[in-house]
Structure 1
């Protein structure tokens, strides 16, 4: 998928919805829908700021942004549900299974083996759900 820059006249919310759909597809919509009964304003914040403002910036393509996001969430070590969503997103924007694994292994140097192990097990679940073998794309 190619990165789409902001459209003139497009609201942050509309741009966020468009970019979320491009990156996360169904997984992203599930997160937003799950917030509707408890914190609908927070769902709007997610659409407007990360997706409407940051992900839609022209400086990096979506593939590079997902590499950074997978690395950061792996390094955090406590964001497994979000990591799974972004592994899915990485696959959606062109990362291979092997690239995702290498991103997570690289984090062992900076975040430690427990964080990398947790990340690898999260990736394993995502890959199994997609029926992927080594080197395949989502």
Structure 2
């Protein structure tokens, strides 16, 4: 697969657009507003690389990327990021039933305790999203 080479600024612009579409304006606005001298390079990095490069690739749709990310976060026990990406999964078109199946599937490969924690977080996120 050949990809067009973008400038850092174009990658950042593409990344912020995708980041907002996946995570929502409110989340991105909070992250940007919370940027400090210490975190500025990191915020630029994740916007350019995670969102401008990887999430912008044509090989997977956003639903599929959400499934992959949710599974990885369950496996690694990243609870705060999991809640954010469960919301993103809903925004990317996954249904509650589909996310529930992803968590159930993760119980086999990531472990029952990890899935148990993921179900607890999902229940909270789904309740908040319905309110």
Given the two structures, how large is their TM-score scaled by the length of structure 2?
A: 0.87
User: How far 1:29 moved relative to its partner?
Assistant: 3.6
Paired position in structure 1 for 2:58: 58
Aligned match of 1:112: 111
Matched, 1:75 2:96: no
Distance 1:15 1:108 in 2: 35
Q: CA RMSD in A?
A: 2.1
Relative to the length of structure 1, the TM-score reads: 0.83
Inter-partner Cα distance in structure 2 for 1:66 and 1:92: 10
Unmatched tracts of structure 2, length 5 or more: none
Give the match's secondary structure for 2:89.
helix
SS in 2 for 1:90: helix
* Kept in 2: contact 1:19–1:51 (CA 8 A): yes
> 1 or 2, which has the higher helix percentage?
2
Structure 1 gaps, min length 5: 1-5, 133-138
User: Structure 1 pair 18/72, CA: closer, same or farther in 2 (3 Å)?
Assistant: same
Deviation at 1:129, TM superposition (A): 0.7
8 Å contact 1:28–1:85 — kept in the other structure? no
Count, aligned residues? 126
2:107 paired with 1:102: no
Deviates more, 1:60-69 or 1:10-19: 10-19
